[in-house]
Amino acid sequence: MPQPLWKVSEIFYSIQGEGKHTGMPAVFLRLAGCSMGCAWCDTKYALAGGKEMNNLEVLVELSKYPCKTVVVTGGEPTEQDLPALVSVLKSAGHIVHIETNGANDCDVSKADFVCVSPKKYVSENMLKKADVIKIVVNEKTDLEDLKKYYNYENEKTTVYLQPESNKEENITLCVKLVKEHPSARLSVQLHKLINIK
């Protein structure tokens, strides 16, 4: 049986710049392809294309780094066979974090951590599976609509508000919203603040 081929935009070693694990070293496995097309997307180069890699090629590339935590991101990782990829990574001893827009209901049960960042539309089932729901906030955000995500907060799931592009006005808005809803958390893009990939 032939191995699946993954469309990979890039694999690189850095620190997590967003959310709950900010500052944690991780290898980023960025898959190519996303049909969402958000205006503020900061990884437009990963919306299409990508290099086809089989399981062994992915694992060999990951083995070049001293870190076992792998963040599978995109693009949009659920547009490929994400459960199969997670199984491959887990079998090789990796800790697997998923970053997804949550539009596609997907089996993420084998992942160690799931961040759902809703955009134009999101699966309610994916919101229920999330460890973190990360909302990108800007001046166009419907603040009343945003409140619906608070309904998914529980002992497992935390809502993070992330100012789009670290713009000052968006940071000010997020700080105001977190102060109004103290169980939420602020997530700035640390990697952009310190100018690393």
**Domain ranges for the chain:** 6-193
CA distances to 41, 43, 51, 75, 140 from 46, in Å: 10, 6, 11, 5, 25
E strand map for 46-107: 51-53, 69-73, 95-100
Closest CA to 18 of 95, 153, 115: 115
Dist. CA 66–CA 61, nearest whole Å: 11
Dist. CA 131–CA 128, nearest whole Å: 9
Residue 128: alpha-carbon gap to chain centroid: 16
Closest CA to 73 of 42, 104, 31, 33: 31
What is the mean predicted confidence (pLDDT) over 64-70? 98
Q: Give tens-digit pLDDT for 7-30.
A: 999 999 999 999 999 999 999 999
Please state which CATH class domain 6-193 belongs to: alpha beta
Share of the chain above pLDDT 70, in %: 99
Q: What is the pTM of this model?
A: 0.96
Mean pLDDT of the chain: 96
pLDDT at residue 54 is higher than 70:
yes
CA distances to 36, 37, 179, 184 from 40, in Å: 11, 9, 25, 22
Give every CB contact of residue 145 below 8 A, 6+ residues apart in sequence: none
Instruction: State the pLDDT at residue 57.
Output: 97
Q: Give tens-digit pLDDT for 97-119.
A: 999 999 999 999 999 999 999 99
What is the mean predicted confidence (pLDDT) over 148-166? 97
Q: What are phi and psi of 80, to 5 degrees?
A: -115, 180
